[in-house]
Amino acid sequence: MFAWNKPVEKIAFDGRFPVCDLSYIDSALLCKVSLRAVSPFVPHNSDVSATPGFYLDFTVENPTDENLEISLAGALEPNFCNKKEGNRNSLHSIEDGYAVHIEPEKKSKSPCCGDVCLSVSGDGEKSYITADYFRFMKEYIAGYSFGVSQESFLFGFRDKGCLPDSEVGKKAGLIPLNFMLLNDERLDSLCREHLQYAFGASLLERIKYCKPDFLSTKEDKIAFLKYCFRQKLRMGKNFGSCALCSKLTLTPGEKKTVRFVLSWYFPNLYLSDRKRSGHYYENLYKNSLEANEFLVKNGDSVHGKAVEFAELLYCTNLPPVYSDSWSSNLSPLIKSSQYLKNGKFGLWEGLGFCGFHTTDITYHASFGLVNIFPDLQKKQLKMGAEFQRKDGRVHHLFLPGFEKVDNSYDRVDMNMQFVLMVLRDYLFTGDREYLLSLWDNVKRAMDSIEKIDTDCDGLPDYETKRNTYDAWNFSGISAYISILWLAALKASVVIAEKVGDIARREKWSVLLEKGKKSLEEKLWNGEYYNLWVDGSNIDESLMTDQLDGEWFLRMIGLDGNVSDERIREVTDFIFRHNFDRDQGLVNATVPQGKKTTIHTYKNCQAEAVWTGIGYAFSALALSVGNREISDTVVNSIHNNQLRLGHFWDHWECGHHYTRPMSSWSTLIAASGMAVDYENRSLTFRPTDKNITFPLVLPDVLVKVSFVDGELNIESIKGDLGKWEIRVK
């Protein structure tokens, strides 16, 4: 019966977040059909980007020499409502089209209780089925005294290229079993009621083809009502599916677009203690109909800005894998986030796993966030600061609900990462009030780590076991922790200068110089920095992430504590030993002849490939001129994800892991960008005299290109005309 309803032969997919383009390829199609799906992801506007819905734009083109008549229909089955109570649908006009709003007949506190809205607009003549039984919107066998037929709204759609404009929105009422007691007026009323339903009109249309005068007698009306009653029993209780259609005529060479918008509204979000947290979008819209109306009426700006941003990320002459990494790894900002009604925002470490706003993961993942939605990043960090322990230790992760944190205050790297993010957020946003509000937290975080430097050599050496590599224990003076600490000291010196605390600036400057000297004396082995030294015990394993603090300093525009020459030397050594072309860049190896320990040798995290660390390593290598290393590692991550079929899903602690958002730092590294937003100062140190790249800052979107060293800026949003711009 449905042999004509064939799937297409091929679909070509191109995903460029927040846009995906599909081309439908089929030799049987007389027209060209494509789809562009767009999420309302508008940089610098977190309210618009929180809108629960998306666009589906179908473009049809006539490549023939004759007129073509084309119909597009979309159906929606609301499988979320209470099966017993059902749902009710309502038809609304929006712009030049229609919307069907689907609500539960009876609202409840269930997380599954909400409403959805589907609309159609754009070109073409619109038609609709406001509501009908699920089975009719798929298919069912109708059988009784009028023979046996297969019923589906698709048959009528195929014949006419449109829908019957059925506006009924609620389930038909019960039909009295004793029809003989009903008078003619009541029978006529019941027949009219059931003919308003698409399923009822379809049943009658088949009968009248053979019996044109059917329904002219009382017996006909009773037989028809019994027939409808029997079919309702066959179709079951599930009611409320809808369909929308647009019918177009295309002249030769003509192209037209039909827009569908799907929106939703599920306010019963429970994250902890059976307490309803709700979604932020509840502050913006009353239901999915309002969200749908907003998206349709503001389509030119919302849809346009989202597409504009997606295209900007590909305005580069770097290999395409870089743009893919910047684009695809922004998807967790939507996929793995919770934006609560009270305004609190947090990213899952891994979707559904570990926790929210994990300090060490935010540290790697937030470079794109602070530039695209600076308000959300600052909310995250200030929320974390409220849970800083009295002794200065910084939280590890938030539990669902954002009202509690776990008890992992022993992770020593969190304090330094917090301090570095405070400075980064200030430099990138120019928010002096934000910096001042966190100054006390910075002081307590730094004082806390200084206390675990027992020999006063400028490097932490006590209780340094726990860190972001939570299955891999360190001991004594660790390269990763020490270099991160020195980076935090450098950041603290800058912060103290900004807030006017000269005594703190001088104290930390002296401590920084002492620590830099100790680093070289105690951990440098002539080729790289040893993993850790604890008295007479030593682990000489080669850690990929040992220079993590140096990466962050360079990404926020500061010079490193370690020279560029040394960084080039170490990144080259790490690449030669820790990169395996079959699997990529592993977290650590033991070079031949070097000492290791049971905590490192064949450790599950040491031997793992963490894509977020791989991107950070690539950015560091790129920032000091090791372009070939960066290209190779980024290519490896890209190819691994494609081959695994998980291009949009980096797996670590749960799916859609957020640390790989560190890929944004490769964009910063390629440009050599340093920004002081408060003073409107911008510096570039590009990696090539002929390079093009996007520049994204809070309230600024531009395309930057260097041609034979000459700077050109094409502004998309924001004005750099009054900025001081330097090129190194």
Distance separating alpha carbons of residues 366 and 647, to the nearest angstrom: 20
How does the average pLDDT of the chain come out, rounded?
A: 95
- What is residue 82's predicted lDDT score, i.e. its pLDDT? 55
Decide if pLDDT at 86 tops 80: no
In this structure, which amino acid lies at residue 635?
N
Tokens 């979309």 belong to 74
In this structure, which long-range contacts are made by residues 573-580, counting pairs with CB atoms below 8 Å and at least 24 apart in sequence?
573/527, 573/528, 573/542, 574/528, 574/542, 574/544, 574/546, 574/617, 575/621, 575/626, 575/629, 575/632, 575/633, 577/542, 578/542, 578/544, 579/632, 579/633, 579/636
Could you tell me the two tokens for 530? 């040893």
- What is residue 237's predicted lDDT score, i.e. its pLDDT? 83
- What is residue 153's predicted lDDT score, i.e. its pLDDT? 96
- The helices-and-strands tally (H runs, E runs) of the chain is 23, 31
Decide if pLDDT at 725 tops 90: yes
Decide if pLDDT at 553 tops 70: yes
- What is residue 177's predicted lDDT score, i.e. its pLDDT? 64
Distance separating alpha carbons of residues 575 and 584, to the nearest angstrom: 10
The reported pTM is 0.94
CB atoms within 10 A of CB 467: 20
Distance separating alpha carbons of residues 199 and 153, to the nearest angstrom: 7
Decide if pLDDT at 204 tops 80: yes
The whole-number average pLDDT for the span 235-256 is 94
Q: Are strands 724-727 and 681-684 parallel, antiparallel or unpaired?
A: parallel
- What is residue 564's predicted lDDT score, i.e. its pLDDT? 97
Is the dihedral angle over the CA atoms 55, 651, 378, 311 positive or is it negative?
negative
At 309, the pLDDT band (50, 70, 90 cuts) reads very high
Contacts of 172 (CB under 8 A, 6+ apart): 193, 194, 197, 200, 228, 232
How many angstroms separate the Cα of 409 from the Cα of each of 128, 352, 415, 468, 558? 58, 22, 9, 12, 28
- What is residue 201's predicted lDDT score, i.e. its pLDDT? 95
- What is residue 253's predicted lDDT score, i.e. its pLDDT? 97
Q: Which of 84-88, 135-139, 504-508, 648-652 has the lowest mean pLDDT?
A: 84-88
CA atoms within 13 A on the CB side of 41: 22
In this structure, which amino acid lies at residue 505?
R
First CA to last CA across the chain, in angstroms? 70
Percent of the chain with pLDDT over 70: 98
Decide if pLDDT at 447 tops 70: yes
Q: Give me the residues paired with residue 681 across strands.
A: 676, 724
Distance separating alpha carbons of residues 443 and 424, to the nearest angstrom: 16
Could you tell me the two tokens for 518? 């100790």
- What is residue 85's predicted lDDT score, i.e. its pLDDT? 66
Question: Is 17 within 8 Å of 309 (Cβ atoms)?
Answer: no
Q: Which of 20-24, 175-179, 285-289 has the lowest mean pLDDT?
A: 175-179
Q: Which of 82-91, 272-281, 632-641, 711-720 has the lowest mean pLDDT?
A: 82-91
- Given strand 674-676, what is the order of strands in its sheet? 674-676, 681-684, 724-727
The whole-number average pLDDT for the span 578-603 is 96
Q: Which of 52-61, 175-184, 522-531 has the lowest mean pLDDT?
A: 175-184
At 170, the pLDDT band (50, 70, 90 cuts) reads confident
The pLDDT tens digits of the residues spanning 378-396 come to: 999 999 999 999 999 999 9
- Radius of gyration of the chain from its Cα atoms, rounded to whole angstroms: 31
The whole-number average pLDDT for the span 539-565 is 98
Decide if pLDDT at 81 tops 70: no
For 113-156, the DSSP string reads: --EEEEEEEESSEEEEEEEEEHHHHH-EEEEETTEEEEE-HHHH
Tokens 């089929």 belong to 26
The whole-number average pLDDT for the span 222-240 is 89
Distance separating alpha carbons of residues 619 and 615, to the nearest angstrom: 6
Every domain of the chain and the residues it spans: 67-250+267-288, 313-717
Tokens 């949003």 belong to 717
At 83, the pLDDT band (50, 70, 90 cuts) reads low
Burial class (CB in 10 A: 0-12, 13-18, 19+), 589: buried
Measured in residues, the chain has a length of 728
Question: Is 58 within 8 Å of 34 (Cβ atoms)?
Answer: yes
CATH number of the domain at 313-717, please?
1.50.10.10
CB atoms within 10 A of CB 2: 11
The whole-number average pLDDT for the span 645-669 is 95
Of 531, 513, 540, 640, nearest to 582 (Cα)?
640
Distance separating alpha carbons of residues 418 and 441, to the nearest angstrom: 9
The pLDDT tens digits of the residues spanning 261-306 come to: 999 999 999 987 778 999 999 999 999 999 999 999 999 999 999 9
